[in-house]
A and B are shown apart, each in its own frame.
Chain A
């Protein structure tokens, strides 16, 4: 099979200039602000989450620049504590959780199952505004000086911290309802809106990933909501629900917090896996080595993920038996993840692999995710975790998963579906350069942190012993490269938005269902009722067959 050059895909003349799309059907601000079209809501989420990424990323650059010198180059310890807390909060709740599911999930999920919209379009719009209000509260908290407890809000400190704990947890509480509303909406959509021909095991794998994510979102978020409510009450009214003097137990807070926040890690990584389950078959021009393996391991991660939270608390006071059980269950997740990794690699084997920007991100992901995953298995072992707990080793580990995993997947999704969302192609040359720089910048930032942590550098410290300085400097330089490559990406994508070449319906020669519709899609997703007679990964027939 030959490679496909996006530039030469013919655009049918009668469709090219005048066709009505979801973008040009109306141009007023009101038509965006009050839209119930899942595609527009997806775009609103995308724009907002990009702003949040910029905010959280700025905090990260401040932190890294501060750590250039052992005594700290920029701020005092209190400011440092608030900066790393707000970095975590913005990145976790305002960027990563909604990044792929709410933006790309919203845009693609109904199209991929052949529906006109999600099951509850008005609830969908409402959940965007709830997200916006929650984000606003977090920004108000920032304006009030920010919160200094770490994104985990551990008691007893969070009950007495003088910083803006109450508005922060209130904002996250509100964000939680947005997450829940989106989750409920997607679950019901997948159950009730699939078009004829789209059976459960013919859904594109991205839909499976979003479905699994939605299940976690709906089940875990309420527990976080109530836990943070209590933290807010304790800080504001001093009711002492976790205060031992009044019959409380601070460790119980940690259990409740991680009962949400460990599954939340899978809210972040499952959609990333879903993105690559689309990208890999498309650019290998081959069906996945095992569709069922990917679909079932998605569900496996979603359910086992609920029984692993204890591995965050090995040093918080836990029986040996509990620690062993949580350790083994955590490793079980690694097995499901490995099933996916091997399936993707096997998919590429003997395929006609074409390297485009999304595929470069996949190769980066493969390395970073396996690296992050294996260090995760290591930290799930209690004897090792006692040594690494609260050091940079853990920081490096979860950034390998969250940045190396989720952020690369988000960037891959951004490039892969850019033609579908905007109708234009980005510059492949710039894409290649930026993707390479993202990988290099990321690796230079976080690999030294494994060494720092193993050498005893504790996390969340504003100052450090001078022996750690060389590795800290390398890490900081890496963060600048990463920041610059993100800016570069923003730049060439914005240029492509206005001047990029027109993309055809299916510039990647994919067989997945979202490519059945024109780019950008019309208001109701399909111009005529789609007939899904082919499997979404059936590369044995030419692409023309897709449209009957």
Chain B
């Protein structure tokens, strides 16, 4: 997607429209990919309210919440980057994209630290580990297995999103993406927002809401 119109499109706005539409449909498929796991979460939480409450109580709520802040700020910086690009501020845009990438990496670092902390207390996916000697409920085992699956899948998306932004950054730096055709960066930003939005749902479900009677 360079600045010129590809041969099979009649105009640049048409091409930009097609690219945006494609990304929005793709985001729909991403949401459905996660939806499968959200369905598992909903069904199993209904079956094991107490086990899930124990899981939430024993999660790393501080780091999970710090990470929420990190992702929200990164969503802000990427939105600002698109805004600056549209105003022709190429350098400011590049700086903001770089900041977003840095925040994405911070998120991954904190997430890795969290996983290591879980392993330290003997908490592994699949109901394995010394942690379950004191918390042996089936529901708690499922809570943490789902926790690893869903945050793990989300982390994969953060890795992919960061890589996409890094690729776009090189294009911004070489002025292959500029205010004349800003849509590739805008589309990358939409993807990054999705990564953020999914986390906004994971955060309360795994860290904040223990439910009725833990």
Contact = CB atoms under 8 A, between A and B. Distances in A.
Contacts of A248: 44, 142
Interface stretch (B35-43, B88-96, B178-186): B35-43
Interface stretch (B25-33, B64-72, B75-83): B25-33
A227 B36 contact: yes
Interface in A391-439: none
Most chain A CB within a 10 A radius of its CB, from B8, B9, B127? B8
A187 B25 contact: yes
The majority secondary structure among interface residues of chain B is: helix
B116 interface: no
Interface in B137-155: 137-143, 145-146, 149
Interface string A224-262: 011100100100011111001111110010011000000
A237 B125 CA distance: 9
B145 to A, nearest CB: 5
A374 interface: no
A223 B36 contact: yes
Contacts of B6: 121
A239 B22 CA distance: 35
How many B residues are at the interface, by size bracket? 35 or more
The size class of the interface chain A forms with chain B is 35 or more
A256 B25 contact: no
Contact of B126 (A120, A239, A249): A239
A243 B117 CA distance: 26
B7 interface: yes
Interface of B: 6-9, 14, 17-18, 21-22, 25-26, 28-30, 32-37, 39-40, 43-44, 47-48, 51, 125-127, 137-143, 145-146, 149
A256 to B, nearest CB: 6
B152 to A, nearest CB: 10
B145 A256 contact: no
Contact of A218 (B28, B43, B142, B145): B28
29 contacts: A115-B8, A116-B8, A119-B18, A120-B22, A185-B22, A187-B25, A188-B18, A192-B17, A193-B8, A193-B9, A218-B25, A218-B29, A219-B32, A222-B36, A223-B35, A226-B33, A230-B40, A233-B149, A239-B145, A239-B149, A240-B126, A240-B127, A240-B145, A247-B44, A247-B51, A247-B138, A247-B140, A249-B43, A256-B39
A249 B14 CA distance: 47
Contacts of A295: none
A180 interface: yes
B149 A219 contact: no
A194 B127 CA distance: 54
Q: A-B pairs with the 7 shortest C-beta distances?
A: A247-B142, A226-B36, A239-B126, A247-B138, A222-B33, A222-B32, A116-B8
A226 B37 CA distance: 7
A219 B33 contact: no
